[in-house]
Amino acid sequence: MSKVLAIILAGGQGERLSLLSQKRAKPAVPFAGKYRIIDFALSNCVNSGITDVAVLTQYRPHSLHDHIGIGKPWDLDRQKGGIRLLQPYIGHQESDWYQGTADAVYQNLSFIMETPCDYVLVLAGDHIYRMDYTPMIAFHQQHNADVTLGAVVIPIEEGPRFGILETGTEGQVLSFEEKPSAPRGNLGSMGIYVFNRDILMRVLTGDAHSDNSTQHDFGRNIIPSMMARGERVYAYPFTGYWQDVGTVQSYWEAHMALLSDQPSFDLYDPSWVIHTRSEERPPAHVRSNGQVVSSLISHGCIIKGHVERSVLSPGVIVEEGAVIRDSIVLFDCVIGANSVIDHAILDKEVIVGKNCQIGHSNDMTPNKLEPSRLNTGITLIGKRAHLPDNLTVGRNCKIGADLRPGDITTSTLASGETIEDRTFAHGWERDIARRGTATA
């Protein structure tokens, strides 16, 4: 069997997720209660028999590194092979923040050279899907391809977010355009590439030393340049569930889709387990006055109120009389008595006071600071925010992280309004965020 090295690009900021990726890299964002987004790519690797895995991190990597650790939940804590976490470092003249997805891999060519492998599988670390990579690698071998792209049919209106390609009858890529304003088709790149190792090293070195203008990106530069040179570029058609959760709306929709009686993505399939690092917590407890309808409730939750069509991460407490509806509530949040959470996403360790209304009114005014990201009625509450009693918050609002009750001087926040967190007021987080974020 051919040896495969998987490289997961996990350094992206994911700006379209707004507050959810403000404190963490996008692949570290929680998903479906107990998981992180990167768990799906990691689980796909080990379930496909790939045990040499490198994760390239950059933007705010601390929670991602803490989550992955030595790879034990994925059986990747091995003396030979296993998992490696790689990040930019100072030490030679070519080193710098990753300038693009291709540059991220290029800066780790020495690691690839030292790893015995025939093929390199390059993966995005920020998609939700279940995929056995073995048939794709076999397809690559059978067609004697130089590179094979994973391809999936997407809604045509989503085309500007993806690389769009056209293929011949045998799967050879005839045209490729990264994030076109007017897509010519609906076959999108999944951000999954299988390269022959030697070819990958050659094309990345050529890109790094090119005199032409380049963003050092697989979709914008590497694939088009290979096609221009007449190299063998093929597309592997994938027909299973695959979801890019890169926007607030798509993140929310993917969660809500899990709540149907027969969801398209089955978390309970015993033949393809999604592995994750999970803390030991007691079972969830629905108290005598509590009620749960069409929801995912993680371990450690205590439900005294009403939860409907929502996803609760471990350790969430819903006090008596509180209502959570069509919402996502992350780890260790507390919802105060008689408060209502409607169409909202609460980051970790948020405390909502008593008698609050979060997601109130029918006013759908887009957020004034992020109108393209918050415009569908979803309100975001940042990590560790502590909201005072009797607060009313409208739709498309954003309340920043780490705020205390005394920082919120109004009892009503109208739809589309924002209360920034303390650190952004000082500006130093903006300086950090400006540094390389190209491996999204």
CB 6, CB 115: distance < 8 Å: no
CATH superfamily of 285-428: Hexapeptide repeat proteins (2.160.10.10)
pLDDT-derived band of residue 280, with 50, 70 and 90 as boundaries? very high
Overall average pLDDT of the 185-209 stretch:
95
Q: 41 — alpha (psi -120 to 50), left (phi > 0) or beta? A: alpha
pLDDT-derived band of residue 397, with 50, 70 and 90 as boundaries? very high
Residue range 4-257 forms a domain whose CATH class is: alpha beta
CATH 2.160.10.10 range(s) for the chain read 285-428
Overall average pLDDT of the 357-385 stretch:
97
The b-or-e profile of 337-362 (16+ CB within 10 A means b, else e) is: bbbbbbbbbbbbbbbbbbbbbbbbbe
Q: What is the 3-state secondary structure (H, E, C) of 42-91?
A: HHHHHHCCCCEEEEECCCCCHHHHHHHCCCHHHCCCCCCCEEEEECCCCC
pLDDT at 86 > cutoff 50: yes
CB 67, CB 76: distance < 8 Å: no
CATH 3.90.550.10 range(s) for the chain read 4-257
pLDDT in tens, 155-176: 999 899 899 999 999 999 999 9
Q: What 8-state DSSP symbol labels residue 92? A: S
pLDDT in tens, 132-160: 999 999 999 999 999 999 999 999 998 99
Overall average pLDDT of the 20-45 stretch:
96
pLDDT in tens, 252-272: 999 999 999 999 999 999 999
pLDDT-derived band of residue 430, with 50, 70 and 90 as boundaries? very low
pLDDT given at position 428: 39
CB 105, CB 7: distance < 8 Å: yes
Cross-strand pairs, 342: 325
Residues 6+ positions from 201 with CB-CB distance below 8 Å: 109, 112, 113
Percent helix, strand and coil across the chain, each rounded to 5? 25, 25, 50
pLDDT in tens, 92-120: 455 567 888 999 999 999 999 999 999 99
pLDDT at 341 > cutoff 70: yes
Q: C-alpha angle with apex 345: 341 to 348, nearest 5 degrees?
A: 105
pLDDT-derived band of residue 79, with 50, 70 and 90 as boundaries? confident
pLDDT given at position 180: 92
